[in-house]
Homo-oligomer: A and B are copies of this chain.
Amino acid sequence: MKTVNIILLGYGRVGKAFVRLVQEKQDFCLSRYKLRICIGLVLNSRGGLRLNLEKESEKFLYDLVVGSKLEEFPYWEWGMDFGDALDCNGLDVLVDCTPSNIQTGEPALDCTHRALDRGWNVVTANKGPLVVDFDGIRKVADKNRVSLGMSGATAAALPTLDVALHSLAGAEIHRIEGILNGTTNYILTRMSEGMEYSVALKEAQDKGIAEPNPSQDVDGWDTAAKILIITNVIFGTSYTLDNIHVEGITHIPCALREKAKGSGKAIKLIGRFVQDGKGRDLETKLSLIDPSHPLFGVNGAQKGITFFTDTMDSITVTGGKSDPRGAAAALLKDIINIYLG
């Protein structure tokens, strides 16, 4: 039996879902993987909650999940920051559930570097640091011989990196195509049924699929960030957002809509990496795809990814829960695989 002590950074929707999931899966992780997964410290922008892991973790989790605010706990420390956290002993892995800032990566980027340098593994749902400085992060992780779990930042419950690195080991990937954003795919699906963009967006917002400010999604940046990270991890490249042509779904060209009409084909927002005789190319592009394409049937808020390889043909993965619980499940998966490995 191994105990894994977590420092949880960020306590929004994903952070809360993660705490709930850790509580729910405690017995399963113990019996199946011989892992005792505890949350030792929760940190948000206002302070931190340090726990005596062995004694209080479970009670804490229970209380937290049933609705108390972090700040109402007796152990809450106003103003505790990441520097203070680094002084704590007995912690093993940073779980980053703070919001993605794909321009600067901060403040998570700085925390990621310091955590890795401290010898902690890092498991993240935050695309920002990976988009801005994957190269730097990888180097610090390698130097300190710690692991980086990135499933939560690369389509979450839909396995992408796992499949490419593990299930396709030995095969060479020359093309990746993904429907990597549930919000845009939901809106495009509704539009293909005749709905106007603004109505479809409103519906997606009402259903909790789209954010109140949907621009990261509908302008294509979320898809771009994901295909960028996936590509850099798989190929060891150092692409940045400047290297990627990005389209969103807010203005679908008339010509494309005309072409789609009655053709039996579907308009999808595809994150794409291509390597051919001419070189390598990355893009996020509105694409007309054929019924024979493996992602054709990926509708609504579903996601999917296809890897085109030399020895195994194409492998497509679809599905996966697109919500905070799905993201939490992806974080838990990475923790298990780090400590089982």
A residues near B (Cβ < 8 Å) are 21, 25, 28-29, 33, 157-159, 162-163, 166-172, 294, 296-297, 306, 311-321, 325-326, 328-330, 332-333, 335-337, 340-341
C-alpha gap A18/B33 in the complex (Å): 33
**Is there contact, CB below 8 Å, between A313 and B321?**
yes
**Is there contact, CB below 8 Å, between B333 and A171?**
yes
C-alpha gap A332/B312 in the complex (Å): 11
**Is there contact, CB below 8 Å, between A162 and B170?**
no
Choose one: B29, B170, B317, B341; the contact of A316 (CB below 8 Å).
Answer: B317
Number of copies: 2
C-alpha gap A271/B332 in the complex (Å): 29
Q: A-side binding surface: helix, strand, loop or mixed?
A: mixed
Q: Which residues of B contact A332 (CB under 8 A)?
A: 169-170, 311
**Is there contact, CB below 8 Å, between B336 and A169?**
yes
The answer to whether A159 and B163 touch (CB under 8 A), given A296-B297, A312-B329, is: yes
C-alpha gap A170/B159 in the complex (Å): 13
Q: Nearest 3 CB-CB pairs, A to B?
A: A159-B167, A311-B329, A157-B312
C-alpha gap A315/B332 in the complex (Å): 16
Q: Which residues of B contact A171 (CB under 8 A)?
A: 329, 333
Which of A172, A312, A316, A325 has the most chain B CB atoms inside 10 A of its CB?
A312
C-alpha gap A167/B297 in the complex (Å): 22
Q: Which residues of B contact A335 (CB under 8 A)?
A: 170
**Is there contact, CB below 8 Å, between A321 and B311?**
yes
**Is there contact, CB below 8 Å, between A315 and B311?**
no
- The chain B residue with its CB closest to the CB of A330 is B312
- What are 21 of the A-B contact pairs (CB < 8 Å)? A157-B313, A157-B315, A159-B163, A159-B167, A162-B162, A162-B167, A166-B166, A166-B167, A167-B333, A168-B333, A169-B332, A170-B332, A170-B335, A294-B319, A297-B297, A311-B328, A313-B320, A313-B321, A315-B320, A317-B317, A318-B318
C-alpha gap A68/B61 in the complex (Å): 66
Q: Which residues of B contact A317 (CB under 8 A)?
A: 163, 315-317
- The chain B residue with its CB closest to the CB of A21 is B311
Given contacts A311-B328, A313-B319, 4 further A-B contacts (CB under 8 A): A25-B311, A163-B163, A316-B317, A341-B341
C-alpha gap A294/B303 in the complex (Å): 12
**Is there contact, CB below 8 Å, between B170 and A166?**
no
**Is there contact, CB below 8 Å, between B159 and A315?**
yes
Choose one: B21, B169, B319, B325; the contact of A315 (CB below 8 Å).
Answer: B319
Chain B proximity of A296: nearest CB distance (Å)? 7
Q: Which residues of B contact A168 (CB under 8 A)?
A: 159, 333
Q: Which residues of B contact A162 (CB under 8 A)?
A: 162-163, 166-167
The answer to whether A294 and B311 touch (CB under 8 A), given A28-B172, A169-B333, A336-B169, is: no
